């Protein structure tokens, strides 16, 4: 059975033109960037999945997910 985990991400302009940076307030280890908004969303899902896997492998509980809104949108990964 697949489980889906979703966390709110913040997307902001990066230092280079066209680059968008994605961060997760509830999962500070997950930070990435991509070319444009769509590229950043794809990279964000990968970064989130990698960070959550690191939590599991270290035997740490997964962070509690905050709410979307206030400039944040949910990013989901499947396990």
Contact 74, 66 (CB under 8 A): no
Find the angle CA(8)-CA(34)-CA(26) to the nearest 5 degrees.
20
- The single-letter DSSP state of residue 45 is H
Task: Inform me whether the pLDDT recorded for 70 exceeds 60.
Answer: yes
Render pLDDT for 6-50 as a digit per residue (tens, 0 to 9).
999 999 999 999 999 999 999 999 999 999 999 999 999 999 999
pTM of the entire structure?
0.89
CA distances from 6 to 2, 16, 67 (A): 13, 28, 10
52-66 pLDDT tens trace: 999 999 999 999 998
Q: d(Cα 41, Cα 44) in Å, to the nearest integer?
A: 5
């Amino acid at each position: 059975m697949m489980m889906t985990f979703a966390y709110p991400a913040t997307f902001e302009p990066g230092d280079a033109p066209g680059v968008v940076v994605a961060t997760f307030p509830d999962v500070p280890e997950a930070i990435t960037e991509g070319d444009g908004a769509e590229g950043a969303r794809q990279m964000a899902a990968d970064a989130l999945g990698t960070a959550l896997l690191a939590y599991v492998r270290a035997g740490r509980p997964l962070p509690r997910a905050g709410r979307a809104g206030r400039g944040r949108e949910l990013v989901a990964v499947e396990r």
